[in-house]
Chains A and B, each alone.
Chain A
């Protein structure tokens, strides 16, 4: 709770820091703010609090999820530098402040106890992201992405809100546990059909936000058009918060109708895995490939939600952590490599831009390789254990229920190896420019840190596992 309050205040403070003459202070100040919020967040460890008449609840699961969100935000902010070449038309203070505000929304989505709070959190997160997507004001593609994201996102929000209204109509409450007791207690007249429709609408809205197929169509265009830094932010923070919210909503409120949403979710999972992985193969731009890869990872995370075993939350947590760290590394390297040789003023994000990267900067090539291997789920990296824990929840649920999903998931992981390794092959085996790429110390530190974390979690997954 303290983290939510402090982040809101820090965001406002950040806006006013923008009035200072020097922009140098912004980055360290923002990093400090996030670190402070992270520390404030840990204060509540092993306590359970309920705030504002059952609006928000903080417990260890909340702290785990919000720590991952804050860590990813910290890493994303740390790899931010100048925002474009046009100094006059960029507003770094505002971008950082909006990022902090959107993290407030993400934390609300993790700790909600009331559907209204979930809606507010989701909107704070989404509206901030619409702005960040269009933050490259002079770029047509950025504008297009922001408009698409805004129109589709507000439509999804409308459907989501409609679902909440229908669930309220059926149960007479916005409270998660009150809805839960209505659903599982079984009212004498039977569960109202409104509830089923409402649940499906809510699912559609949430699945849109985490970009699961068939609600994924906005993802590649928006992720491609947004400035790469904010793409990294979107593809990690939104996913973590979205899955935390989805899991909490489905398990606390709708356990009683598991038979209904389980079928929907497995269908969506299979579709997401197929669409995400197979389409990613055909991309010629690394950024679009990473966008489709984020769709496919939504599919893997959905497996753990659909399985709904006691191990599911820790599997989701570990997977989000591994995925977020690897994705941020991937995007960080992409930012640096893409801006070396712009094509028509735009960063070069094709696979060819990575040719010969191992010679130009061995550290970049190595951390990129580790992150791609982790995303592909090869052993000795965090991504492997993430997939392992997710798949084992599905095995716990039983092969009759989840067998099909598991088969598709394993097959699609193999497909994933193909397109992730294309980047590694380009950077190690192909020859390209030999001009070395320089990195600033902070950037280097972050790359080393994320690479070490990915390998460390791959070797000793239990270190974090015990906390979850």
Chain B
């Protein structure tokens, strides 16, 4: 593999960047300039059909939704660690049995800590929707 890259070798990236930017800026300019502009009160409303808008979009939402969402992301991301670990595990096993066992124990520890956290969440009543 060629490891010596000159700055000019990165030119395609710059071209790509310029093309992407150019498309966005160009299409925005064109659509703003070509289209007709007719202002009226009804036209400038966020919704111009259907029932009249009422109230504020920023209504308070129960914090439980956020908690569940954050917990989902947290455990989801931690589970992702298992994939590279599982893919590489057989290679480690071939290389040295002791190291593979040590790595296995490390993953057990990691999962154990995760489970402790899960138990804490359940005891704390975060997943209890009726509370």
Contact = CB atoms under 8 A, between A and B. Distances in A.
Contacts of A12: 113, 116
A12 B123 CA distance: 14
Nearest to A12: B116
Q: Using C-beta atoms within 8 Å of the partner chain, give the interface range for chain A.
A: under 10
A395 interface: no
A19 B116 contact: no
Contacts of A19: 123
A45 interface: no
A15 B116 CA distance: 10
Contacts of A388: none
Interface string A22-37: 0000000000000000
Interface string B29-63: 00000000000000000000000000000000000
Chain B, interface size category, equals under 10
Nearest to B123: A19
B85 interface: no
B92 to A, nearest CB: 15
A217 interface: no
A12 B119 CA distance: 11
Nearest to B119: A16
A464 B80 CA distance: 48
B23 interface: no
Contacts of B116: 12
A16 B121 CA distance: 10
Contacts of B113: 12
Contacts of B120: 15-16
A15 B126 CA distance: 14
Nearest to A16: B120
A12 B116 CA distance: 8
A16 B115 CA distance: 13
A16 B123 CA distance: 9
A106 B68 CA distance: 30
A15 B123 CA distance: 11
Interface in A317-342: none
A12 B117 CA distance: 8
Contacts of A16: 120, 123
B130 to A, nearest CB: 19
A104 to B, nearest CB: 13
Contacts of A15: 120
Interface string A350-367: 000000000000000000
B107 to A, nearest CB: 15
A62 B120 CA distance: 33
A19 B116 CA distance: 14
A19 B122 CA distance: 12
Contacts of B123: 16, 19
Interface string B107-131: 0000001001000100100000000
Interface of A: 12, 15-16, 19
6 contacts: A12-B113, A12-B116, A15-B120, A16-B120, A16-B123, A19-B123
The 3 closest A-B CB pairs, nearest first, are: A15-B120, A19-B123, A12-B116
